[in-house]
Amino acid sequence: FTAGVTDLKPGEPVLLEGPYGNFSFTKMHRLHQIWVAGGIGITPFLAMARSLDPILKYRVTLYYIIKTESEAVFLDELEAVSKQHEHFKVIPIFTHLQGRPTGTVIITGKRVKHTDVRISGPAMMMNTTRRHVGVGGVPLHHIFTGHFIWS
């Protein structure tokens, strides 16, 4: 589909649908949440961070996993959100310096049995992270992944 967008002419009518799915922090059961974003997987979390209401008591830690500092295109905005929302914390992980995080890094110090985990990014990263945080004690029914799949 994306390749065909370039064939559109200015002013040509289009029909848009969506959004699809329910990858939203408000549909989760627990107020304590861990968000793990790899690469382009930051996009749903960016939208969620923008919509956080400081009055609501969500406690969110976002791990933003990118290879280099230059790829962290939304980090400044996310850090600005964290300054406005005392219960939102963003932790960038630059894999070229720090390596890929393990589940232990992600859940250390968290009340894992009372925390929901959202993961979005490349399939291999999501599968590995899901396995790691599951082994670390997060119940599997507390772990949710966002897949970019069109059918």
HSE-CB for 47 with a 13 A CA cutoff: 10
Amino acid at 129: T
pLDDT at 115: 84
For the segment 102-123, the average pLDDT, to the nearest whole number, is: 75
For the segment 48-66, the average pLDDT, to the nearest whole number, is: 85
Q: Is the pLDDT of residue 21 over 60?
A: no
With tokens 């290879």, the residue in question is 67
Which has the higher per-residue pLDDT, 134 or 93? 93
Q: Is the pLDDT of residue 141 over 90?
A: no
pLDDT at 150: 47
H or E stretch at 66? strand 59-66
pLDDT at 28: 64
Q: Is the pLDDT of residue 58 over 90?
A: no
Mean pLDDT for the chain overall: 80
pLDDT at 144: 81
